Amino acid sequence: MVYEKEAHIARIAVQKAALLTRSISSQILQNKSSSTITKLDKSPVTIGDFSAQAIIINAIKANFPSDEIIGEEDSNDLKENPSLASKISDALQANDVEFNKIGYTNVSLGSKFESVEQISSIIDQGNSQGGNKGRFWALDPIDGTKGFLRGDQYAVCLALIEDGIVKLGVIGCPNLPDNFESPNYKGGLFTAVKGQGSWYSKLYDHKVDQDFTKDLKISMKNELASSSEIKVCEGVEKGHSSHDDQLKIKQYLGIPVDQTLNLDSQVKYCALSKGSAELYLRLPVSASYQEKIWDHAAGNILITESGGIVTDMTGKTLNFGEGRILHSSGVIAGSKQFQGKVIEAIKETILKKN
């Protein structure tokens, strides 16, 4: 299989990072003030974000040393918060102990974490500027940090991009139920490889197989009777997408309001790919709002490989070869069956008035 090793390492690294974030989530809920800082852009950052980025970059560099990484975080905030840096070091060491119980052999995920300086250096290797040439990974160590802080939905997201094209995506969803109606298990691992489909497995309590095609193959729904049957995913935070504009689209298409799932992070892409919904709306809150590629790269290939489509609000495909910024006007993902109608609805209700 193409990208077999890349997929295997990515899946194990995401699983390891997800284990860490799960283990510390209860601590953060109990004592946010000592586990959270605020960046200049006012978004919350926790020990989970920094630790997960260190774990995944460490694994990538151990196996693919020439690859670059675009990571969301840098270590500047840690240098000004020694108590937080100490907690990250403790969390990473505890995670090593827990992860080793799974029993992986002959798999290197990098050197042992031994000092804050070493951890900071690893985190800062996520400084690639990307572009349309070469090979790099896009990493969001905790996508949906606010959901993580609430004990709700969040995701660990990793994508491999070559010459501006997403080739591989892995998303770990620590709190995603296997079924929204009658859940029996929480924690999903989603994998997509270009030309090889999208796949799902449980996230915890087992070694991920090197052959990802042994997982459950998943696909989007593309055979609804009418647009009124569409289930819609949209974000929880109103600062990330225009809920008012999205309501107009749903009204235009005749989609009942109670058929909306409000979920943080790229979990929305995962819900679509698994058939729990058919449409993801993320309309920009302003003309100046800019998406980051780590917020959509893994989800983009998960949708396209499960039989869906992803565009901006004008119908253009997303371009992941223009640096760290995704220069798109919103994001629309979903069933090919209704994508044309969704774009028509946007033109008639939003773009025409602007």
**Residue 74, annotated as binding a ligand:** no
Cα–Cα dist 160/170, whole Å: 9
Rounded to the nearest angstrom, the gap between the alpha carbon of residue 247 and the centroid of all alpha carbons in its chain is 24
Cα–Cα dist 227/250, whole Å: 9
**Three-class SS state of 202:** strand
Close Cβ partners of 20 (under 8 Å, ≥ 6 residues apart): 48, 51, 52, 55, 91, 92, 95, 98
**Residue 142, annotated as binding a ligand:** yes
* 190 in Cβ contact with 273 (< 8 Å): yes
Measured at the alpha carbon of residue 119, what is the angle toward residues 118 and 125, in degrees to the nearest 5?
A: 95
Close Cβ partners of 248 (under 8 Å, ≥ 6 residues apart): 345, 349, 350
Residues recognised as catalytic = 49, 145
Strands 279-282 and 232-234: parallel
Residue of 324, 272, 322, 327 lying closest to 300 (CA atoms) = 272
Residue of 131, 28, 13, 17 lying closest to 62 (CA atoms) = 13
Cα–Cα dist 326/309, whole Å: 17
* 159 in Cβ contact with 348 (< 8 Å): no
For the chain, what's the residue count?
A: 354
DSSP 8-state symbol, 316: P
| Cα separation of the two ends of the chain | 47
**Residue 258, annotated as binding a ligand:** no
- Cβ-in-10-Å burial (0-12, 13-18, 19+) of 323 comes to middle
**Residue 152, annotated as binding a ligand:** no
**Residue 60, annotated as binding a ligand:** no
Numbered residues of the known binding site for Mg(2+)? 72, 140, 142-143, 295
Numbered residues of the known binding site? 72, 140, 142-143, 295
